[in-house]
Chain A
Amino acid sequence: MDKQSTASEFQGMLEARGVSRRSFMKLCGTLAIMAGLGEAAAPRVAQALEESVIGASQGDLYPVIWIEGASCTGCTEAFAQIDAPDAAAVVLELISLNYSETLSAAAGHSMEKAKEQTIEAGNYILVYEGAVLNGWNGNALRVAGKTGNEHLIEAAEKATAVVALGSCAVNGGWMAAAPNASNATGVQAFLKEQGINVPIINIPGCPPNPEWLCAVLIQYLLLGELPELNAENKPTQIFGQTIHDNCQRRGHFENGEFVYQFGSPEEAKGYCLYPLGCRGPQTKANCGVVRYNHRRSWCVEAGAPCIGCCEANPNNPGQNWIEVNTPFFKRHRDLNIGDFKFQPGTIAAAVLGIEAVALVIHGFGMKAAGRVPNGAEFEKKRAWDAKHPEKSIGVYDDAPKSDAKKGGDE
């Protein structure tokens, strides 16, 4: 009875907004697929929607705080482009975005107050965009009289979960790339250092696909569960396979059809971008499946080799996507000793060349010393044996025959 009454009340709500039951179920199906559950889970999503966020029985939307760290705001910009559900629907109907430097209409003291109240009440999700700056004691991100790091600590301590959005938030990204003047780090490393134990969901990318954040929010808000995470706390569903695995140009890779130069006829044919340094084979993300900009296209489809922006290991600041992947158009990253940068192939070929030259010179030396082709004479006695006759290794009492004095290396 209770359930039926809820349903009818909910249906009334939908009708008041001009939404038919049919289109509502369609939305549920879409959401279920985005959360990686498959269309069959649509009724589960529908029930969750009825009983939670949109349901009149509770009324309150789930609070989210979105803090900008050292970011370019690109992750927010990307999120603002989402269309199904669109950004407005997410912000107004799925969540209650209580604080966001970029998206909130309000500003100043009232915003800070709203954030404080949300934190005090607890049970919210913190989305942190951009790197954490340890340099200058966090003063580079000072807002409302507190350092950026204090804001993060405060907000993370009481959060139900922290979403580290974008590669900068995951392990420092651009900010932490050499020379890392601001001593930037990622959210997970920073919170661990601060001893704050809160579930962290890392969503790398530069920018991350907005649908990834949406999928995580939907799964968490509607079904009350964190997505399945891998060892790096990234959603397995999204970051479990390489770009190469699902690339639409993979057929050309298999055929041995490659683009060697931009603007070439091969590029016009849409061949594989591997020789131009494509990082698809070593970068894990489902870009080729989800695609960007309303699922119209994505980097590789648009003709740009993958630059591996999703490579970000929260446990290893060195596995930073800029460090690991530049120069983008070469197959290998640059290595460096101090300020001296070089490609692995160059140094390897140089060392090998030096060895070859050394051997040739040595060969002439061997010839000059009369050791080619017959070798030098064998020593009559080991030098050590001569010095330590009492512990001698060799037995030298019967001297070698006079015509058998020369020997060679085995």
Chain B
Amino acid sequence: MAHLAHYREAHPAPFRFTHWVNLVSMVILIVTGFAIHFPYWPEFMGIARGLHIAFGFVLFINCLLRVVLAFIVKSAPTAGTREVVPDYKTWLPQADNLHQGPQWIKYYLFLKKDHPLSAKLGVPQKISYLCIPVLIIFMFFTGLCLWPPCANMPLFEAAINGLGGAMSVRIIHYFMMFVFIAFTLLHAYLANIEGLAPSMLMFFGKEHGGLTYDIEKHNISGKDDLAH
């Protein structure tokens, strides 16, 4: 018996859906983005541009949907419990997170041996997840700046000039993609380094027994091996 138990309440179906959409869109956007940046595979160029624009919209709309759902859907504020609260509360700083930021950093730098207690999202995770919607929206905006139907509109024209011209926008868009890739590497690493259970839950809704957590006392409360 290890880890906190992974219950579906932590990642309800709508969020598992938006997570899938994010993953698929980002992979398509990254592959097509490289193809547009330089036609490594010339025949794919036309398809790549069409897909890139379409999935840019999918990712953006999915991002908005996820944010709206955070106010509608309830989810468990941590692993190890089936109790639910409105999801957006999990995104904001929680009592469980307070003063735990440095502890997390110390843990990952091997300066702290035991695992920090925390809510569903550790502090570094929470900060990075809060940045992702902002990044997606910024990415979408710079994408529109580079897309001819928008590029000549006064708003986008002003933005292009503000960012230093089309070449700068192009490079910013390109760098931001690397930020996504860097984030995804780190995200996948941290989620799975201590076992694949979190991924099994997020992708397939597969539960996993483990310790339980009391969200009132902010502490481990027992264990559940799902033997019911």
Q: Which residues of A contact B (CB under 8 A)?
A: 231-232, 240-242, 245, 253-258, 274-275, 281-282, 311, 313, 315-316, 318-319, 324-325, 331-333, 335, 344-345, 348, 351-352, 355-356, 359, 362-363, 365-366, 369, 371-380, 382-385, 393-396, 400-401, 403-404, 406-410
Contact = CB atoms under 8 A, between A and B. Distances in A.
Given A359-B189, A376-B107, A410 B120 contact: yes
Given A344-B175, A378-B114, A393-B95, A410 B4 contact: yes
B167 A373 contact: no
A352 B171 contact: no
22 contacts: A231-B158, A232-B161, A258-B39, A282-B166, A282-B167, A311-B165, A316-B161, A324-B167, A331-B38, A332-B170, A344-B171, A359-B186, A363-B189, A375-B115, A379-B112, A382-B99, A383-B99, A395-B218, A407-B4, A407-B211, A409-B198, A410-B120
A396 B214 CA distance: 11
Contacts of A395: 214, 216-219
Contacts of B189: 359, 362-363
B122 A348 contact: no
A351 B185 CA distance: 12
B103 A351 contact: no
A394 B117 contact: yes
A409 B194 contact: yes
Question: Chain B at the A interface: mostly helix, strand, loop or mixed?
Answer: mixed
B121 interface: yes
A409 B161 CA distance: 44
A404 B117 CA distance: 14
A232 B161 CA distance: 10
A240 B98 CA distance: 54
A274 B46 CA distance: 13
A394 B4 contact: no
A378 B115 contact: yes
A225 to B, nearest CB: 22
B115 A315 contact: no
Contact of A352 (B2, B44, B46, B182): B182
Contacts of A240: 152
Question: Chain A at the B interface: mostly helix, strand, loop or mixed?
Answer: loop
B138 interface: no
B182 A332 contact: no
Contact of A384 (B45, B98, B220): B98
Contacts of B46: 254-256
Nearest to B43: A256
Interface string B72-98: 000000110000000000000001101
B195 interface: yes
Nearest to B165: A319
Contacts of B29: none
B14 interface: no
Contacts of A231: 157-158, 161
A255 B98 CA distance: 56
B18 interface: no
B1 A406 contact: yes
A408 B116 CA distance: 9
B114 A410 contact: no
A335 B167 CA distance: 11
Contacts of B182: 351-352, 355
Nearest to B103: A383
A363 B193 contact: yes
Contacts of A366: 193-194
A393 B174 CA distance: 43
Contact of B42 (A256, A316, A331, A382): A256
B45 to A, nearest CB: 4
Interface string B27-66: 0000000000111001111100000000000000000000
A395 B6 CA distance: 22
Interface string B140-183: 00000000100010000110010011111011001100100110
A120 to B, nearest CB: 38
Given A316-B161, A366-B193, A400 B45 contact: no
A374 B120 contact: no
Contacts of B110: 365, 369
A318 B194 contact: no
